[in-house]
Chain A
Amino acid sequence: MISIKAILKAWKFVFIVMIFVLGINETQAQSGSDLKINEILVYNDSSCVDDFGMHSSWIEIFNTAYNSVEIGGLYLTNDLSNPKKYYIPKGDPRTIIPPRGFIVFWADSRPTRGILHLNFGLQHSKTLALFDANGRTMIDVVKTDKDHKPNITYGRIEDGGTAMGFLDKNTPSASNDTRVKVTGAQIFSEMDPYGGGLAIIAMSVVFSALTILYFVFKNASRIIALDFKKLFSRKKKIDIAVTPKEDIPGEVCAAIAMALYSYRTTLHDIENTVLTIKKISKTYSPWSSKIYGLRKLPRGN
């Protein structure tokens, strides 16, 4: 008979394995989900040219992650009823998008021109989507039925962001955000030329961090010393007979110690009735033979 405990244990095991498996699937999908369709140019009259010198529509995909992501094995399509329209081949180093990097595909319906040339165009498309390797999970989609103008790109205002719109500049393989960025150091330089502000902020933070440490460890010994078992256990109304403390005479202590010693020394861990069968023989081997010893030099004639 299988006990209930055993069934529960088995279920626990299955549950843990399921979480693990689901976790792995989630992790695998996560790398693909880091990709975003970042910028598209539908009508390319005078913008950048492809490796064949042609002005073609293009699609820029951005890797939002801080690790490289392989786009090979995923699908691009302009038809949601056919998610596997263009398979991005695996194994080409160009399909590995560096951290926070970009890849540009040419939507020119000329797949024979290389793996970066798609088998569809954008000019008569309504959507553009990126599908996961299973061909079912949509990673990202962009509507392309807007009123697109020649040489004006449409995409995310900030790389990987949610806000979409027509962009001021064409930036294939580069950040969409072309505004002048002010670094933290520049802001401090302008607003805090003598460093007083930073000193106040930083010293406050250092003091806060170490003050928290102080308060925590000031009380840590008290918290550790608490007997939680006693604190949370139900109080049982049992009368425990408290024996009054008495001084035990030295002779009694000596007698107890002697008794304990005698008891321990007479204890047997292993009974001494074990039979030992030992084969005593000398097996011959040429390796151990003195006759064939290598140190024995052949006698000269």
Chain B
Amino acid sequence: MVEHTSFFEFIGEHLMQFGSYTAFANMTAGHLIMISVGLVFIYLAVAKEYEPLLLIPIGFGIILGNIPFYPGLKVGIYESGSVLNYLYFGVLQGVYPPLIFLGIGAMTDFSALLSNPRLVLIGAAAQLGIFAAYGAALALGFSPAEAGAIGIIGGADGPTAIFLSSKLAPDLMGAIAISAYSYMALVPVIQPPIMRWLTNSKERTIRMKPPRTVSRTEKIIFPILGLLLTCFIVPSGLPLLGMLFFGNLLKESGVTKRLADTAKGPMIDVVTILLGLTVGASTQATTFLTAKSIGIFALGAFSFMIATSGGVLFVKFMNLFLKEGNKINPLIGNSGVSAVPDSARVSQVVGLEYDKTNHLLMHAMGPNVAGVIGSAVAAGIMLSFLY
């Protein structure tokens, strides 16, 4: 037993000990930088309304994860046995992303795609960003598995990025997730200049045929055939594609309204909260503020630009073979990245700048939802080759 000369000495000693446990005593410049980043995220979400459903949980998670503490108290996200560590399990083991996909499936209407199926090819072309970023990451010295995980940022799909990075490069997952979600929020800033640069005024005013009405049978068959056709080719994409199509079948079957409502409502909300908060909290300054993270952010921006360019240029390429009247407006090419529905909204806004009566939103939703399928397929390919 420790002996104390006096009671006041005992009190003083324990107050000092308590002081060493506080965040003030363990604070570093890195923690302050990360807390500032978290605050910026919250500001962007509240003031600019950039992806608030994602940026608020992630921003708050960044602050939460960067409050310094004395190690060993089982409070940190990386300390086994802590509550945050248990919640982080869903990220590490890739549980949350397929659940998010279930909700996305239940809230996505694939009618735009079904009414004009050729738009699905734009969703394939926009995946070019993933592989361009993969090559660039290899050139920067990342290992193939790390490069694959970084490349998927170009798919503009947060859950897919988390799913793949949790398998291929778990140590980079925080940076990859933050990068993916940041650029998804910045879609309205990144994409328009590229779209304008790659198109001429005549192309921007192309009017597309109005989409036809899609029958209920087609809508029901789509998730079943979609699952069979894509997962037979890329079974490694099963967790994401399976849940996406399952969610869509719940919606379109018309007889499981309650399940569809739960999947697209309370369930996706709960998972989004847990995913956002824990991904944010995983960005502890000690593990996040590295040269690799800066590289990941640079590559993320690069992959987004290539993906947008790929989509727009592919539409222009398709137009070479299409008859007058059937041509596609290249301003919907950007929506081949799977940031649903932000990139489709960008197509609409940019399109209206050049023709006030040319509404591209419904047309852009086709490649947009195809991009979700395309990025999940691309993630499956990466997983099967690099895991």
Interface residues of A (CB under 8 A from B): 183-186, 188-189, 193-196, 198-199, 201-203, 205-218, 220-221, 224
- Asked if B229 is at the interface of the complex by the 8 Å CB criterion, the answer is yes
Which listed residue, B117, B226, B229, touches A218 by the CB 8 Å rule? B117
Known: A202-B378, A205-B233. A217 touches B222 (CB 8 A): yes
The chain A residue sitting closest to B375, CB to CB, is A206
- Asked if B296 is at the interface of the complex by the 8 Å CB criterion, the answer is no
The answer on a CB contact under 8 Å between B234 and A205 is yes
A sample of 21 cross-chain residue pairs with beta-carbon separation below 8 angstroms, ordered by A number, consists of: A185-B143, A185-B144, A185-B386, A188-B144, A194-B135, A199-B132, A202-B130, A202-B382, A205-B377, A206-B124, A206-B377, A207-B121, A207-B124, A209-B233, A209-B373, A210-B373, A213-B230, A213-B373, A216-B225, A217-B117, A221-B215
Known: A214-B118, A217-B117, A220-B218. A195 touches B138 (CB 8 A): yes
Q: Which 4 A-B pairs have the closest CB atoms?
A: A195-B135, A199-B131, A185-B144, A217-B117
| Residues in B whose Cβ lies below 8 Å from that of A199 | 128, 131-132, 134-135
1/0 per position for B129-171, CB-CB distance to A under 8 A? 0111011011100011101100000000000000000000000
Instruction: Tell me the minimal C-beta distance from A99 to chain B in angstroms.
Output: 15
| Residues in B whose Cβ lies below 8 Å from that of A217 | 113-114, 117, 120, 218, 222, 225
- Asked if B387 is at the interface of the complex by the 8 Å CB criterion, the answer is yes
Between A188, A196, A198, A220, the greatest number of chain B beta carbons within 10 A of the residue's beta carbon is seen for: A198
Instruction: Tell me the minimal C-beta distance from B154 to chain A in angstroms.
Output: 11
The answer on a CB contact under 8 Å between A213 and B385 is no
- Asked if B175 is at the interface of the complex by the 8 Å CB criterion, the answer is no
The answer on a CB contact under 8 Å between B121 and A188 is no
| Residues in B whose Cβ lies below 8 Å from that of A213 | 117, 120, 225-226, 229-230, 373
The chain A residue sitting closest to B213, CB to CB, is A221
Which listed residue, A193, A218, A220, touches B118 by the CB 8 Å rule? A218
Instruction: Tell me the minimal C-beta distance from B117 to chain A in angstroms.
Output: 4
- Asked if B276 is at the interface of the complex by the 8 Å CB criterion, the answer is no
- Asked if B374 is at the interface of the complex by the 8 Å CB criterion, the answer is yes
- Asked if B217 is at the interface of the complex by the 8 Å CB criterion, the answer is yes
The distance in angstroms between the C-alpha atoms of A267 and B6, with both chains bound, is: 100
Q: Which B residues, 291 to 350, have Cβ-Cβ distances below 8 Å to chain A? A: none
| Residues in A whose Cβ lies below 8 Å from that of B134 | 195, 198-199
The answer on a CB contact under 8 Å between A210 and B120 is yes
| Residues in A whose Cβ lies below 8 Å from that of B234 | 205, 209
The answer on a CB contact under 8 Å between A224 and B221 is yes
| Residues in A whose Cβ lies below 8 Å from that of B117 | 213-215, 217-218
Query: Interface residue count for B (Cβ, 8 Å)?
Result: 47
Instruction: Tell me the minimal C-beta distance from A186 to chain B in angstroms.
Output: 8
The distance in angstroms between the C-alpha atoms of A214 and B132, with both chains bound, is: 25
- Asked if B59 is at the interface of the complex by the 8 Å CB criterion, the answer is no
The distance in angstroms between the C-alpha atoms of A196 and B118, with both chains bound, is: 26
Interface residues of B (CB under 8 A from A): 113-114, 117-118, 120-121, 123-125, 127-128, 130-132, 134-135, 137-139, 143-145, 147-148, 214-215, 217-218, 221-222, 225-226, 229-230, 233-234, 370, 373-374, 377-378, 381-382, 384-387
Instruction: Tell me the minimal C-beta distance from B125 to chain A in angstroms.
Output: 8
The distance in angstroms between the C-alpha atoms of A67 and B226, with both chains bound, is: 29
The distance in angstroms between the C-alpha atoms of A200 and B132, with both chains bound, is: 11
The distance in angstroms between the C-alpha atoms of A183 and B230, with both chains bound, is: 25
| Residues in A whose Cβ lies below 8 Å from that of B125 | 207
Instruction: Tell me the minimal C-beta distance from B161 to chain A in angstroms.
Output: 16
Which listed residue, B120, B143, B218, B384, touches A221 by the CB 8 Å rule? B218
| Residues in B whose Cβ lies below 8 Å from that of A201 | 381, 385
The answer on a CB contact under 8 Å between A206 and B381 is yes
Which listed residue, A189, A207, A209, touches B230 by the CB 8 Å rule? A209
The distance in angstroms between the C-alpha atoms of A205 and B373, with both chains bound, is: 12
| Residues in B whose Cβ lies below 8 Å from that of A186 | 144
The answer on a CB contact under 8 Å between B135 and A196 is yes
The distance in angstroms between the C-alpha atoms of A300 and B344, with both chains bound, is: 78
The chain B residue sitting closest to A211, CB to CB, is B121
The answer on a CB contact under 8 Å between A208 and B233 is yes
Known: A210-B120, A214-B118. A188 touches B385 (CB 8 A): yes
The distance in angstroms between the C-alpha atoms of A183 and B134, with both chains bound, is: 18
Instruction: Tell me the minimal C-beta distance from B359 to chain A in angstroms.
Output: 23
The distance in angstroms between the C-alpha atoms of A224 and B221, with both chains bound, is: 10
The answer on a CB contact under 8 Å between A202 and B381 is yes
The distance in angstroms between the C-alpha atoms of A203 and B129, with both chains bound, is: 10
| Residues in B whose Cβ lies below 8 Å from that of A221 | 214-215, 218
The answer on a CB contact under 8 Å between B385 and A214 is no
The answer on a CB contact under 8 Å between B114 and A203 is no
Instruction: Tell me the minimal C-beta distance from B229 to chain A in angstroms.
Output: 5
The distance in angstroms between the C-alpha atoms of A214 and B135, with both chains bound, is: 29
The chain B residue sitting closest to A216, CB to CB, is B225
The answer on a CB contact under 8 Å between A210 and B128 is no
